Amino acid sequence: MTVKTGRPLNVLILYSNTGGGHRASAEALRQEFLRRNPGHQVRLEDILLHRTFWPLSESDRFYFWMVNKAPWAWKALYASVARREIYTTLHRTLAPIIGPRVRRIYETFLPDLVVAAHPLLNHLPRRVLRRWEEGNTRTPIPFATVITDLTTFHPAWVDPEVDLITVATEEAQRNVLHLGAPSYKVRILGLPIRESFSHVPEDKHRLRKELGLIPGLPVILLMSGGQGMGPVEKIASAIAHANLRAQLVIVCGRNDALMRRLKARGWPIPTRVLGFVEDVHLWMGASDVLVTKAGPGTIAEALVCGLPMILYSYIPGQEEGNVVFVEKRHIGAYITDARRIAQTLARWLRRPDDYLYPMAKRARALGRPNATRDIVDALLSLVNTSTRGKSRAIRRDISPLASA
């Protein structure tokens, strides 16, 4: 189904550029809204980085530093803020400062629809929206949450009083319901990924040729999120020296230093080193197996491309469940040791009928190439048929911030 709206809408997407995933998902949603109607005004607001103050306004730098250099500190912070009384207090503290700024965005942009694509941008902006509505005569404005994690996620994502919550998997749905969201508001629609993933060319040989790779040689794709973090160099080295009959593509993302280092090296197997690439769907489409950190965006994209995967690390907290997901669904393995990664690849490549092909089939079956379209359909339906009457009937006291 493709929902059409008669008039151009003002769509406000609240996100923050902390981790490539939130930004990529928000951008995918924007593109899909514009594909439906180029007259839609779609505004992406990075509330945390652009509408707060130090240290929140530097959360991207703190986040990257912590997940890279001190994951234990990130784990501890994540766990403490995951306690309801802590994030409720945090929201209450921030409300007098952030609230008026968010309200000003509503007043100037006059949204027809507000979409939250970040864990910390649900309760407070939703409450500000409702108060703002009460003070003027505008028709009720739907507020929806699009959870951009795959399975496990921070509890602050779930505000039972929003009008719709979209999730990527059954695991995520279970978690949302457990956190008090009413089931009629929760829909499993997949993770918002770029539209290009809905038409990945199927002919691997042709794709390899077009990308300048060797058409008849299996491709191992090594990725590490948008920022190129983690032990990429060590893993690349182990793979390259394992005597594999394969070629290696290393995507360094925005990590320019890593890219320069890897480009300057000699490689014993055919190897391509890339920086940030826009056409990930082509590189995934050309590959036979993916080695990556457990980022939700990358995993969702790999499923669509039918790529078996080895996960070599995960960010504590939000990415932990992704490891279980991949292992439980038999679409890959979690291996941290570089030498064991190379040995596993050797086994998988030697006997593709026993390993790669069945995993690829299962991965493809789990992929949701049309997730972004389906999510935008659901969001537009909210504008056409507002469910706000229903949501107001929900007991207000189930929201942790109801009395804030």
Residues that bind ligand UDP (CB under 6 A): 19-21, 24, 225-227, 251, 253, 276-277, 280, 295-298, 301
For residues 143 and 153, which CB has a smaller minimum distance to ligand UDP in the complex? 153
Tell me the closest approach of the beta carbon of residue 241 to ligand UDP, in angstroms. 24
For residues 171 and 301, which CB has a smaller minimum distance to ligand UDP in the complex? 301
For residues 74 and 132, which CB has a smaller minimum distance to ligand UDP in the complex? 74
Tell me the closest approach of the beta carbon of residue 166 to ligand UDP, in angstroms. 16
Collapsing DSSP states into helix, strand and coil, what is residue 312? Answer: strand
CA 350-353-359 angle, to 5 degrees, is: 105
For residues 105 and 249, which CB has a smaller minimum distance to ligand UDP in the complex? 249
Side chain identity, residue 172: A
Tell me the closest approach of the beta carbon of residue 284 to ligand UDP, in angstroms. 8
Residues 6 or more apart whose Cβ sits within 8 Å of residue 57: 48, 49, 50
For residues 142 and 297, which CB has a smaller minimum distance to ligand UDP in the complex? 297
Distances (CA, A) of 168 to 175, 263, 328, 334, 341: 11, 36, 16, 21, 28
Q: What are residue 305's phi and psi, to 5 degrees?
A: -85, 0
Task: Decide if 270 contacts 371 (C-beta within 8 A).
Answer: no
For residues 175 and 255, which CB has a smaller minimum distance to ligand UDP in the complex? 255
Decide the pairing of beta strands 113-116 and 10-15.
parallel
Collapsing DSSP states into helix, strand and coil, what is residue 222? Answer: strand
Question: Which token pair is 6?
Answer: 């008669």
Nearest to 66 by CA among 47, 52, 81: 81
Tell me the closest approach of the beta carbon of residue 3 to ligand UDP, in angstroms. 25
**Using CB atoms, what's the residue nearest to ligand UDP?**
295
Tell me the closest approach of the beta carbon of residue 216 to ligand UDP, in angstroms. 26
Task: Decide if 14 contacts 47 (C-beta within 8 A).
Answer: yes
Tell me the closest approach of the beta carbon of residue 222 to ligand UDP, in angstroms. 11
